[in-house]
Amino acid sequence: MELLLVPMKLCECGCGQPAPLAKETNARRNHVKGQPTRFIVGHWAKGTKNSQWVGGRIIDSHGYIKILTVGHPRADATNYVKEHILIAEHALGRPLPPQVEVHHVNEQRADNANGNLVICEDRAYHRLLHKRTRSYRTCGDASASYCKICKQFTQDILVKCGSRSFAHRTCKNKDALRRYHLRKESA
């Protein structure tokens, strides 16, 4: 009986694990039947051994910079925390409470300078800052409100016109009358 020697090779991704043998020859994947595979799909080296390691700093799909921080209470499933949260915690000298949000003054998510960050006590205050910024950029007055019906920013008193929208009382009445007549015509 003849002893066959099977070539043993480590995975080339840098993980240090043995590479399995290719079951068939595939020129596109550079596999030769019976030889160790060169790179295994989904078999990547972790951390600094990975060829795409960038120092634990990434930019997510929303434009936020994230830092690898294992064990942080606000870390996501991959142990990354948004950089602006870490900067706010460092400036405050303690971890942020769970309901606290950090606002970017210039609304550039990747600009995490100390002067560009405001620590908001809750989501309602954070939304108020965005609303006032939008009003100021549109009409030059941060305290102006937006009428949903006439699409104007105004200092006038507005009434509730839906779950989260407001309108002038006259605009709301005209719109209700218009919708009443449309319903009457369609019936």
> Going residue by residue through the chain (187 aa), what tens digit of pLDDT does each one get?
555 555 567 776 666 677 778 888 888 877 888 877 766 666 666 666 666 677 789 999 999 999 999 899 999 998 999 999 999 999 999 999 999 999 999 999 999 999 999 999 999 999 999 988 988 888 888 888 888 888 888 877 777 777 777 788 888 888 888 889 999 888 7
Please tell me the predicted confidence (pLDDT) of residue 16: 67
Cβ–Cβ under 8 Å, residues 116 and 108: yes
Give the C-alpha separation, 79 to 74, whole Å: 9
Eight-state DSSP code of residue 37: P
Which has the closest alpha carbon to 107: 142, 137, 140, 67?
Answer: 137
Token couple for 59: 């930019």
Please tell me the predicted confidence (pLDDT) of residue 89: 95
Encode 3-30: b = buried (16+ Cβ within 10 Å), e = exposed. Answer: eeeeeeeebebbbeeebebbeeeeeeee
Cβ–Cβ under 8 Å, residues 39 and 13: yes
Please tell me the predicted confidence (pLDDT) of residue 47: 66
- Threshold 0.85, pTM exceeds: no
Which has the closest alpha carbon to 141: 126, 127, 149, 131?
Answer: 131
Token couple for 60: 């997510």
- Phi, psi (5° rounding) for residue 162? 160, -165
